[in-house]
Each structure stands twice: as C-alpha cells, then as structure tokens.
Structure 1
C-alpha cells in the first residue's frame, strides 16, 4: 500500500498537484516544481501479498520554472491601460498551475508537463535524456503571438490576447485505424491538444507535435494554434449594481475565464471512400467559469483518411472549427455563484456526460446528452442538480470554496467517482450511476486520515483543537487518488518560515480500500517472464520484420532481416514464421550473393542452432548481412535469442526488438518496468553500424514500448 508522503515545501496555488499515467507526481511550490518519480517497492506488506510503498520509494527532483530568456519572455515596457497589468509584468513568475499531458507526446511515448506561471506564460517541460534534467521545450504563448499577430485588428489589445490565464489538456484525438495489422502512432496514442484561455476571453486550441515526426528524437516541440473562439463577457449585474455605471464596466473588463476542463471526444463516421479511406468527425467541449457563469466552447474536427497506397507521409487530413456551445445553458438562482473548479465525468460505454462545477458551499452537476454535447438543442435542455456541501460542515451556508476535484474509476464496478475537497479541509465523493437517482455526496474515504494528521498537528503545537487542514488539490490515476493537504493554526495569525513548510500527500482508492500496489503497473516490482511468454511476444515482432522483408516500402537492413530469420529458427515453434524466415533468407541469398544454404535447410522444423560463420566468409561483401565480434573479429553464432556468443567466447546481450547483439556500451535503452535491454535508435548511428539506424527507427516507431511488459523506456 502507499504510505503518506511529506514534502518540505509549501504549495503556491490551489489545485497544485498533478499525476501522470507514467506515475510521476508534479507539485507547484512557488518558483519551483517538485517532481516525484516512483521507485520499485522496497518492502512487503504484513500479509506478504502487497508491497509497501514508503516515502523513501520516491525519487525527488525539482526545477526552477521562473527563469526565462529574453527570447522566451521579452521585456515589456509600459503599455496603454487596456493592455498593461503591472501585477503580471512585475510578478515573481511563481507557478500557479501544473498538469501532465496524455502519454505519447515526446520520445519514448512519455508525458510532458505544462506549467503556467503568474506572468501568464505557459511552458512545456520534459526530462531531456541528453541533458539529464527537466528542460523547457516549448512556450505556448508563441503560438498565440504568431496567430494573433496576423489575424488581429490593430485596435485590439494584443497583449491580452497572448497572455494565458488558464489551460487544460484534452484527451488525445484518436485517428480511426485503417485495415493495417500494426496501426500508426496516431491511432495508438492519438494527437494531443491544449485548450487555453486568454485575458481577452478567447478559448484557443493548440496542437503540439514534433517538427520532424511523431517519434522524433528532437527535444523541441512545435505549438500550432488550430482554432480559436472568443467568449465575450455575458455577466449581468442588474440586481446588484447599476449596469451602465463605470464600476460595472470595470468589473466586466476584468472577469476572465478560469477553471478550464475538457470533456471526451465523441466520434461519428461518415461516408467511406473505399480502399481504407473515409471521413470522420469528432466533437469535444471545454468548460470554464466566467465570473458566476459557466461558459462552454466546442471544437469540431473533420478527419479525412487517405486511401490505402497513398504517397502522403501523413495518412490523414484534419480540419478544425471552434465555436461556443450555446446548447449547454442552464438557469440558476443569482445567489448560486459558480466559482470552480470544473470537471467532466464520463462513463465509457454510456451516452451520458456530466459537468461538475464548484459553487459557493455547493456542488452543481449538469447532465448532458450526446446531442447537447454536440451543440444541438433538445427538448428539456440541461438537467442540473445542486448539492449543498453539508458533509462534515456545521454551517452549510458558510463560504466553502472547492479547491480541488478529480474523477477516479471504481476498480470493480467501473463507475466514475468524483472526489472533491474544500478550503476548510472537508472532503466528499459522489458516484455517478447513470439511469439512477441523483445521490447526495458522501464523506470522502480519505477524510479520516486527514483528521488523524490534523489532530496530531494540534496536539504537538498545543492548539486546543483549533488546528485546521486545507486541501490544496486532488489528482488521480488508475483508480488511486492523491490528496495534497496543508495544516495551519486556526486561532492566531500564522507565522511560517521556510524550514516549517510542509505539504502532505495522502493516497487512497476510489472506495477507501487499502491501495494494492500490485494492481498499479508503475508501482510493481520487476516482473518475471516464463520462456513461453518470451517466445509468444517475440514472435509478434519477428512476424512483422519477416513479413516486411519483401515490402519495398518498408525495406529493413539485411542484417536485421537475417537476425530475425535466425531468431525464428532458434526459438520459434510456429511453422508459419519458419516459412517466412525461409522466404527472407532466399531473398537475401539472391540479392546479396551470400551462401545461406545451411540456414535455409534448417527452416523445415523448429529447434535448430546456427553455427558462427568462419572468418574467411566475413569479408566486406558479407559484412552487411552477418554479425561479427567487434573485439576479435570472429563470427557470432545463434544458440539463443537472448544472448550472443562469438567463436572466441565473447558474450553479448541481444536486443529484444532487432535480435542484434549489443556489443558497445552506452548504445542501449532500458525498460523502466522490467529492465529489458534494447538498442537505442538515436545512439546506434554514432557508431560504425550507422546503416542500422533507419531500420531501428522504423521498428521503434511501430513497437514504441517494451514488447514484453508494455512499459515505457527510461529517458
């Protein structure tokens, strides 16, 4: 189970914590961002069946997020009143929000971290393997500057249109897979987008991609604004102040769109063009609070699939259109002030989507149908519910702002459960069972643990029961909820030095049961694989390599093809693979003039070994097919698919993907989960085997995670 984690930091904002699907936790702490990465579990539980995950089982790192070059954030001199904000330009650029992207955006298909600082600059950070540190790889404001610099009226305040107030990651846009045995990365990982709001109340959708391809080795990301919609201020003050007064005008100009959240993609197929082509459409909503109101923007994407056999590098074409979704409107009393945050709740397999938004001392939920989500008005409109936050609260009418919300999926029923926490330390959960009655929120399962920690803090400082806890943020991944909590005295002015900064992170499941780390992939120890398991998963790779051996469009290195054929002879029990290996060997013998009679004869049945080639055959003409030992120059035989041994006895590990011997140090990459070793496609080109680099990159583009455990590679 996961033990509480105590950090000697103080959060710089509410909703200060984010958890990636790779297991990394990011915490906003003033000028710095704290990164926590899980290690393998160090102990066993009391009953011996669930590892204990202690506070020492986290790697801890941090980087400073408020250091910018002049190119990244140029000096801004005093501007006209409508464009200049002295609070932003002279701020310390502390971190106000952090959020991990969906996986698959950068090298090794890992997530990147979006960091918004108080100077309204949104930066993208990634752990760069060459520099071995967290590095800023993109600034989203640059995409806004390039767009609004060309498409904005000169009278419009450009500074406000390029200053980012809030943001959210959207789920990846999955491109429908065509009839291919191995779909492309856009069908496996999808295309990520960022939705951002500006000081001019624009909602902009930004696509992030690598300039040189989906699986590029470049550390720089390119940001492209694909569509934008302006949500003008629609807040009315008729019952509170004079609507035509200067005060009302000033208030309207300062109300921004905050607490942004993204809903799921809804896909719809259209006519098919045949031969693998066709058109699809996808709709996505983002919602945010603007003053006391809720505003919703919709992004519609047209997906045109290219026909099979097309010469285009990208097998699809996208078109974008953003607009306000006026169908998602609901009437609520003026005293119900929506303050945020906002969260979408969607149960996969159902046609119901819910928007949960925080209000003063209340939780408001809006149930949407597919038609409303797509922007089509229906009879009855939006069904909204108002739940007062009376859980653990003696005065439910008091000011009880929600400071964090997250959705966790129940492990058994697969029901989405909304977890929320308030500024006064109260916690509640609400399960969404569509088709049933709207249940009231119940006490959060992690609330008792917060009370225990608060009482300990109270006793240690002799506060007489007046200590208070504040929930600074919630996040969840794979059914586990992490709650960030700070403790404070409640009967005095608090004085705190940096040595007394404390942030406690508590872990819990959606139903309050003990966290079983064996059920979470990134918390497990190193797995062990049976020989049958290894054979089955390697056969998948061999089947792809051998079938592509006769495909001119996917031409691989002869050395890779020969290694795959030998690996099939040595380890595979599949007669189909042996037949494919025979075809590849016959093609190599014909095209390269090498003698492969012995290998072809051993393709009749499984279980043969292949002897090392004598030195006289390893001349320059055959060097592009056979492997030779870099130490002594002798041939390398085949008696195992995991190890390679030359005629002189030198032993090497074989790459799990290409089956080639890894003979040099420093050209390998390792799975972060099972420690399996692979050739690094970016490092192998720096050696004499430069002709292998294109083949390694081709295979890595298809098999971009560990073929044994599906784990990510270490950066």
Structure 2
C-alpha cells in the first residue's frame, strides 16, 4: 500500500488532518475537505488498483436556507470570518463511531464564518454525492440561548441582539470520546452500546456549551432526521484585568478575554455506577478544567479549576493521553514556553503531578500532537510545528513518571525531509526549501501515523495558480512490523481499521505466498486473543424472560451478546476477515454457513411475541429452513480428508457443534456448495416476484425459483432480495442485506394482528394470503423512516439492530 499520497491543494489550518475509526482520513484545505479512503480490495501483489481514493466535500458552500443573511455586526463585534470570509475549514474532527448511518463516524467541520456543521454519507462512502451536511450546531445554540437571554446577560456585550450574535458564533469545539462499555473486554466491529454523542462548543461570549447530537442511527430509528440540543452551558469568569473600556488602547483590546481558544475532552472512566471525564479549556492567561459526571442519563458539572502556570492560547493545543493511570489523567499543554504535562485527578480535577520540557526555543505554533500508547509501558507524545519540525531536534517525548525525555527522530520526519529533497531536485532549488507541517493523525489501531505537509521555496517568492498547489499525506509506522504482530490493542476497534493494519502487515512481512496460510492462522488467533468473548458472556441473559414492549435495548444487547459475540462465531468471523486481507481466492464457505446456523438457532429461542408481524414470521421461517438444511447435510457423506478431521455432534439444546478450525479440503471443500444446493421438495418459503413460481430454500446465499430466476439472499434474514433499492452490502465481503428503510416499511405496512398464518407450518408460516406476490417491495412514501418511533418491538427490528455490522466479517455496511 502506498505510503505517500499527493493532493492538489494546500491545507487551510493547523491540525488539518484527522483519521476516523472507519479508516477514513480527512484533510482540511482552502476550498474543500478531502476524504482519503484506503482501498480494501483483497491482497494481490500484481494488482493495479489505486491504493488510495479521495473525494472532495464542498464544506464551505451553504444554501440560503442553511445560512440566512445576517445584518452587519457593530464595530465592536465585527468578525471578518463571519462577514466576508470564503468559509474555508478552520477545524475538522471525526466523531466516535455509531452516530452516522450504519454506525459509522460523522465529520464535524468548523468554517471561517464560525459555523459548525456535521457531515455524513447516506450511500456509498467513497462517492461525493452521498455526503451531505446533516445539521448545523449553531442552530441549537440559537434555540437554547434565546430562552435564557433575560436570565443571564452577556459579559461582553450589553445589547441583547448583539449578545445573541456572540453566543451563536462557534470558535472551538471537541467531540466527547465514546463511553466505555461496562465490560472490561474489547470488541471488534460492533459494541454492546454506543452511548450519547456529545460535543463541547465554545462561543464568542466566554461560554462553553455541552451539545448532544442525535441521528436515526444513534436513536435506533426513533428519530427521523438529525437534531442537536444544548444540555447545559458554563460561563467563564474572566480576570478583571481583561475588562476593556471604550477608550482602551489596541494593546488592551488584544488582551480582552472574549472566547475560549482551545478545548479538549478527556477519555471517560467508569467508576462505580457513573462515568467521569474532564473538560480542559484555555483562556488568555491560563488553562482551566471541570469534572464531568454522567450517570443514568444525567450530567453533573463541577466547579472550575484554574491551572495558573500555563499560557496556551497562542501556541498550540491541548491533548489528553488515552491511558488512565491509577485514577490520574495526563494532559499535554503546549504553552508559550514549551510543553507542560499535567497529571490531573479524576476525583476532583486537581493537579497531582507536573513536568515540563523546552521545545527547542521554537516560536511557531504547534500544528499536531498524538499519543503513542499501544503496547508501550511508557506513553510517547509525537508533535509537529508549522515551520521548525524538520530543524528542531525534538519531535517525540517519552512521558515517564518523573520527567519528559526526548528520544530519537521518528520515521515520519524522515518522510517529510525526503519530500523536501525531491521538491528541491525537481525544481532545481539547490536545497533552498522550507517545509510546512499541517497536522498529525494516528490510525484506528494506533500503529501508524499520518502526516500532512507541503514544501515551498525558501529563497524566492512562490507564485502559481491554485492548480499548482500540492499537499502530501504520508503514512509511516510507529513500531516495527514484527512488534505489531505480537498483539493488537486492547480497545474497541472497527473491522476496517484492522483490515488496514493486516494489509500493511501482509505487504511488508510476507515474501512468499506459500507463507500465507500459516500467517492467516496466526493473525486470526491473535485477533481472538485480543477481541475474544466478552467477560461474563457464559452467564447468558435469558431473552425470553424480558418484557418485549419496554426492554428493546436489553433484548438487542442480549441477542448481540449471545449471537454476535459468541466464541465460535468470533473465531469464524476473524478467519473470514483475515482471508480478505491475505487470500483473495478464499470463499470461507464453511465459516459463513456455521455463523448463519448459530444465528438461526438463537432466533428460534426468542419469544413468539416477537413474530407478531408477517415479516418477522417469515424471517424466523427462513432460519428454521436453514437449520433443517444443515442437519440434512450432516446426515450425508460429507466426511473430510483424514489430515484435518471435522466432528459433528448434536447437543441437548438441538444445536450442532462442528469442531472449530476444521475445514474441508480438496474436492470436499468445493463439494460443500454442491451439497448445499439440494432440491428439497418441502423447502418452499417464498415465491418469485416475476413469475410467481415457488422459491426453494436450498442455498443460504442464493435464491432461485423453479423457472430459473435467481436472486441474492439477505445475509441476515435469508429472505430473497427481489427488487432494486432495498438492499445494502458489507463494505468488506460484499454480502448483501436488506436495508433499514425496507425493514421499517414492512413493519409499518403490516402491523401486529394482520398475520393470519403466524402459527402455520414451516412451509406456510410466512406466506400470508394467496396472491401476495411482491409484498416485500418498498411502498411509496414509507421509505423515509417516518413513524419509526412508534414501531413495535419485533424480531425483524431486534435482529437488524443487534447485527448493525456484517455478521460474517464485522465490516460496516454500504448503501
């Protein structure tokens, strides 16, 4: 995979780079935000496919409905960015996963006109037309502060109208990290719960507001569209010396405290029955913090703590270390004199330890900082500055318990220096170049680091059209590949993030394709070791005992725990995921069949009340047919070759256990599909929408009617997908699924009590009335998800909410 990608743009701000948990890199430039997608095609040394794809997002463009025209501000409150700027991006950040469609990440973009908007894709991630602005956070501030204007006057502006203008301008923001689950184990692909998606935003009136972002995905379909709501706000108490009179000098006005310049939200820590976190923010003269406690959907904000020995407004950023050490969080503060490392207690936000380090006397702003903590006993802090990165001796510091220690130059700085050498040679500059570093970003698994830089001549005026501008994004490893192989990070990760690391490992560690099987087996074992069954999963939650109408979240979590995070299913899923990074010819038929079989058995144990709708009954009937099909296969001569025996036994619960890791070899492996394609006369559970001929259930992945019409089956419900526009597919293994809009339409159009055959036999359980051909087509006007909040708790809804990523490989959906 290519380590360097060149784009036709210059970045527009410091900290211009961010890497999402979905594996997408975002870069803020003057006219747009560039999104870079790693190509996740199967490994092949001879492939000619581009390794990185990129699309532009027109973030600076607003419609008149999104951004109505405002009256000019007074001279005291005039903002060039709000009035006449081109609305270039000045800050970007990816959200934690779970808020965008298919549980993906959303992109927050703050533009020069002081507007913060949230972007996400509705269809294919790598197509620009799928991305759109979902919500503008400033609207929530307007709604919130318009209700409390009379109760709290502005500390900067006496005019109420101008005060409202200041309160709705956004100067800085940060996402709250994802809430940790109550389980101490890590997960790959999905999570038991995602929690609320929160932001902290700072306005022009010395205030910080906590905002919750809601979407159809984050509310399990209860919300039709995206919305924002301010939960609470805190007002900064400025130093009296920063108050400015009307006759003050220009120097005094520069010292006036008008807004918070930087804000950072620490990781959440679970203590007893509540989550604790700390929000740190900067003023003109110091750094301040507040302790945030979240318990039972309620937030509590502590009093303000002032750290007076730091002055960070004009020189950089705040960066929390993701590792918590004995109830102490570590905050890196880049101030005017260098770097200050604060150890802050989670109990009362007080400083427990303090260390500092000189940054080689550099005067330019710090443009990026990331923590390297994976498989390290002592965390390392990588940082960059605008102009002096390649000239200063310090780029990485090791944060020991006693002090900050500089270590050798990192590999990512070598890549930047190599770019400068190539630029000088190409333009005959004889080494007269300067390099601007615009930001750093760390990969989802924390094992690679991305840098963004541009190279310019240093002894002449640089002139050219915008088409001549070039920015470079370079990827470099933070450790040796053999060290990455040792273990994977113990935290919640996505399958896309793991796939990126696996492809890099394959490219840089394997020299012969004959080594691929042993390598695949080793990686799958390492994945299972890092992301095994959740602790306490052996004490299964009895789904049938829950109240269906009131316990939707509990039923979804119970089904996810017992099915998605099943021990044997995890082993099969990791084998499939590794095969997509290592062996493009692997079909993993056996593993896919076993995963579907375990799911079918689990669905049969759900209460009958969940199958009140015909669509849910039909899903259950299809899974019952799969159980019958698999059992019939095991009754035939499917013995594998002696060198890798597979044993099959039926347990008391009626489930069939096939020895983990067994695999059909030679002709027997290819004959599995042939045996699956059995013509069972009693397997009719559906009919063809084209010719009304019966469709037999003789293949878990493909449906064919007796007249030869062929359709793919949904990988989750096993129902034939017979119409366009009703499906989605896995972004890694391309398994098709019915999309959420179609599932919602079936449940809305067919409420409980309309099914006349819910207790019929397997062959007729889901057929409904005669002549019900094409019943699964999406009805006009119902595809927008309206009425989702009043949907019944049904098998279809629980199943598609629990399996929010591909059940076979863990990949997120597309479409």
Normalising to structure 2: TM-score of the pair? Answer: 0.69
What's the offset of the Cα at 1:520? Answer: 3.5
SS where residue 429 of structure 2 aligns?
A: coil
Distance 1:577 1:644, change over 3 A: farther
Question: How far apart are the structure 2 equivalents of 1:211 and 1:95?
Answer: 26
Partner of 1:526: 580
Aligned to 2:694: 635
1:407 equivalent in alignment to 2:375: no
308, 324, 329: which one aligns with 2:307: 329
Structure 1 residues 575 and 665, CA, compared in 2 at 3 Å: closer, same or farther?
farther
Alignment partner of 1:287 is 2:280: yes
For 1:482 and 1:666, locate their aligned partners in 2 and report how far apart those are by CA, in whole Å.
37
Q: Which has the higher strand share?
A: 1
Aligned counterpart, 2:560: none
Matched, 1:537 2:599: no
**What's the secondary structure of 1:458's corresponding residue?**
helix
Mind listing any 5+ residue stretches in structure 2 that lack a counterpart? 486-495, 504-578, 632-647, 657-674, 747-773, 784-793
Any idea what SS the aligned residue of 1:652 has? strand
Match of 1:474 in 2: 440
Name the structure 1 match of 2:142. 145
Identify the residue that residue 713 of structure 1 maps to in structure 2: 813
Distance between the aligned counterparts of 1:255 and 1:491, measured in 2? 39
Alignment of 1:454-493 (within 5 A): 454-477=420-443, 478-479=445-446, 480-493=448-461
Task: Show CA shifts across 1:96-133 (max 9, x none).
Answer: 11111111102211111111111100011111229943
**Secondary structure at the residue paired with 1:114?**
strand
- Quickly say closer, same or farther: Cα 1:262–1:170, change in 2 above 3 A: same
Distance 1:235 1:496 in 2: 48
1:320 to 274, 299, 310: 299
Q: 1:261-311, CA deviations, whole angstroms, 9 ceiling, x for partnerless residues? A: 221112222xxxxxxxxxx322222223322422223332221xxxxxxxx
Matched with 1:383 is 353
Question: Is 2:383 the partner of 1:420?
Answer: yes
TM-superposed CA distance for 1:607, in Å, is 9.8
Distance 1:226 1:553 in 2: 38
Maintained 8 Å contact 2:434/2:458: yes
Q: Quote how far apart the aligned CAs of 1:485 are.
A: 0.4
Structure-2 separation of matches of 1:398 and 1:268: 40
Q: Which residue of 2 aligns with 1:167?
A: 173
Is the 2:364–2:388 contact (alpha carbons within 8 Å) kept by the matching residues of 1? Answer: no
CA contact (8 A) 1:627 1:636 kept: yes
Verify the 8 A CA contact 2:281 2:288 in the aligned structure 1.
yes
CA distance in structure 2 between the aligned counterparts of 1:473 and 1:711, rounded to whole angstroms: 28
Aligned to 1:32: 32
In 2 relative to 1, CA 574–644 (structure 1 residues): closer, same or farther, beyond 3 Å?
A: farther
Residue 364 of structure 1 corresponds to 340
Distance 1:112 1:87, change over 3 A: closer
Contact 2:26 2:35 in 1 (8 A): yes
Q: By how many angstroms is 1:73 displaced?
A: 1.8
Q: Residues 544 and 350 from structure 1, CA distance in 2 versus in 1: closer, same or farther, beyond 3 angstroms?
A: farther
CA contact (8 A) 1:105 1:111 kept: yes
Contact kept, 8 Å, 1:415 with 1:431, in 2: the verdict is no
Which position in structure 2 is the counterpart of 1:12? 12
SS of equivalent to 1:120: coil
User: Quick one: distance in 2 between partners of 1:290 and 1:668?
Assistant: 50
**What CA deviation, in whole Å up to 9, does each residue of 1:325-357 have, x standing for no partner?**
41x62535x8x8762211100326753321112
Out of 557, 565, 569, the position equivalent to 2:624 is 565
Alignment counterpart, residue 347 of structure 1, candidates 282, 305, 323: 323
In 1, the alpha carbon distance for the partners of 2:778 and 2:604 equals 19
Structure 2 contact 328–344 (Cα < 8 Å) conserved:
yes
Q: How much is the aligned-residue C-alpha RMSD, in angstroms?
A: 3.8
1:34, distance to aligned residue in structure 2 (A):
1.3
| Aligned equivalents of 1:235, 1:709: Cα separation in 2 | 59
Quickly say closer, same or farther: Cα 1:218–1:515, change in 2 above 3 A: farther
Residues 485 and 11 from structure 1, CA distance in 2 versus in 1: closer, same or farther, beyond 3 angstroms?
A: same
Alignment partner, residue 251 of structure 1? 254
Residues 441 and 224 from structure 1, CA distance in 2 versus in 1: closer, same or farther, beyond 3 angstroms?
A: farther
Which one scores higher on RCO, CA 8 angstroms, separation ≥ 6?
2
Following the alignment from structure 1 to structure 2, what is the Cα–Cα distance between the partners of residues 208 and 354? 27
The CA deviation at 1:146 is 0.5
Mapped to 1, the partners of 2:497 and 2:274 lie a distance apart of 36
C-alpha deviations, 1:7-60, integer Å up to 9, x for none?
011111111111111111111111311112222358756xxxxx9998x32222
| Corresponding position: 1:209 with 2:214 | yes
Taking the aligned partners of 2:381 and 2:726, their CA distance within structure 1 comes to: 45
Instruction: Check whether the contact 2:99–2:214 (CA below 8 A) recurs between aligned residues.
Output: yes
What residue number does 1:397 align with? 361
Q: Counterparts of 1:91-240 in structure 2 under 5 Å?
A: 91-129=85-123, 132-153=129-150, 155=158, 156=160, 157-174=163-180, 176=182, 187-210=192-215, 214-216=219-221, 220-234=225-239
Deviation, 1:487, is 0.7
| Deviation (angstroms), 1:510 | 1.9
User: What SS does the corresponding residue of 1:339 show, helix, strand or coil?
Assistant: coil
Q: Describe the superposition over 1:223-245 as per-residue Cα deviations: whole angstroms up to 9, x where unpaired.
A: 0111111123338689xx99x96
CA change 1:137–1:197 in 2 (3 A) is same
Between 561-570 and 681-690, the greater mean CA deviation after superposition: 681-690
Distance 1:698 1:554 in 2: 13
Q: Distance in 2 between matches of 1:645 and 1:554?
A: 28
Separation in structure 2 between the aligned mates of residue 297 and residue 540 of structure 1, nearest angstrom: 47
Determine the C-alpha separation between the residues in 2 that align with 1:502 and 1:359: 31
What is the CA deviation profile of residues 627-678 of structure 1, one whole-angstrom value per residue up to 9, with x for unaligned ones? 1222332323233322333334444332211122223344221100111111
Quick check: 2:3–2:476 contact (8 Å CA) kept in 1? no
CA spacing shift, 1:52–1:387, aligned 2, 3 Å: farther
- 2 CA distance for matches of 1:569 and 1:712? 30
1:300 aligns with 293
Given that 2:367 and 2:386 are in contact with CA atoms closer than 8 Å, whether structure 1 keeps it comes out as: yes
In structure 2, relative to structure 1, the CA distance for the partners of 1:607 and 1:28 (3 Å cut) is closer
Quick check: 1:258–1:289 contact (8 Å CA) kept in 2? yes
Aligned to 1:494, the other structure's residue is in SS state coil
Quote the Cα distance in structure 1 between the aligned partners of 2:47 and 2:427: 30
1:474 Cα shift?
0.9
Return the offset for 1:531.
3.9
Farther off after superposition, 472-481 or 538-547:
538-547
Q: Secondary structure at the match of 2:317?
A: strand
> Which structure shows the higher helix fraction?
2
Distance in 2 separating the partners of 1:202 and 1:557: 50
SS in structure 1 opposite 2:315?
strand
2:378 and 2:717 mapped to 1: Cα distance? 42
**Distance in 1 between residues matched to 2:237 and 2:48, nearest whole Å:** 49
Q: Check the 8 A contact 2:100/2:217 in 1, yes or no.
A: no
* 8 Å CA contact 2:379, 2:400 repeated in 1: no
- Structure 1 39/653 Cα, relative in aligned 2: closer, same or farther at 3 Å? same
Looking at structure 2, the residues matched to 287 and 76 of structure 1 have their Cα atoms a distance apart, in angstroms, of 32
Q: Secondary structure at the match of 1:486?
A: strand
Moved more, 514-523 or 25-34: 514-523
Partner-residue secondary structure (3-state), 2:741: coil
Q: For the Cα contact (< 8 Å) 1:166–1:198, is it kept in 2?
A: yes
* Conservation of the 8 A alpha-carbon contact between 1:329 and 1:382: no
Conserved 8 A contact 2:713-2:721 = yes
Distance in 1 between residues matched to 2:649 and 2:209, nearest whole Å: 52
User: Are 1:611 and 2:680 matched, yes or no?
Assistant: yes
